[in-house]
Amino acid sequence: MDKKITIAIDGFSSTGKSTVARRLAKELEYIYVDTGAMYRAVTLYMMRKLFVSDGNFDKEAIVRHLPFISLHFEFDEELGYGHMFLNNENVEKEIRYMEVSQHVSKVSAVPEVRKMLVKQQQEMGKNRGVVMDGRDIGTVVFPDAELKLFMTASTEKRAQRRYDELKGRGDEVNFEQVLQNVKDRDYMDSTRDDSPLVMADDAIEFDNSEMGLDEQFDKIVKITKDKIKEVNS
């Protein structure tokens, strides 16, 4: 039996990381961990407590309440991936709202938040055979991952994808609002002091600006299977 590997998929928002990672995990029969969902769930909790809102960011309260947060994924057989549960409540839908997107980068930049979630993520992937996507998987969570991909696309393409996704769900948004959110998140993710979004030195950069989902997935599957073959040779 082939030795299983750790696959780290990092990159900017709305590059399709989660979609590709989810499909890849299913193809390989690996565990999939959506780290972005974990940060979004923490953000949702803090928003509900009114520690985070437009014009308000209570870092001390955020840190103080971290011990009261419990996160886990529950696999949905029909959908083929895990739903995010916050304190035993399914919040998979709520964490994808635009309001959460507007605050998640700020919450993610809090060192104590990152420390807590990185520890959980490392525990989830300790036995390998995992596909994990996020912002710092290949640099911080699993710097020794056998395969690291860094996904990118033009700002406008990513904003259009996010806009289409939100409109498809029935959210009331406009393109300029989504574009600005993408730009703001890029800036905050790339300039934060703790674990900024950077491409690992040994990562493969993957620009999917002009690719459809199937095309990019086929290419990534080939890259992955070649790496698994190399590791097992």
Binding-site residues for ATP, in ranges, read: 11-19
Question: Which DSSP string do the residues of 142-166 spell out, in sequence order?
Answer: -TT-SEEEEEE--HHHHHHHHHHHH
φ, ψ (nearest 5 deg) of residue 72: -160, 160
Annotated binding-site residue numbers:
11-19
Centre a 10 Å sphere on the Cβ of residue 18 and count the other Cβ atoms it contains: 18
DSSP 94-146: GGGSHHHHHHHHHHHT-HHHHHHHHHHHHHHTTTS-EEEEESSIIIII-TT-S
Q: Contact 85/74 with Cβ under 8 angstroms?
A: yes
Report DSSP state, residue 51: S
229: Cα separation from own chain's centroid? 27
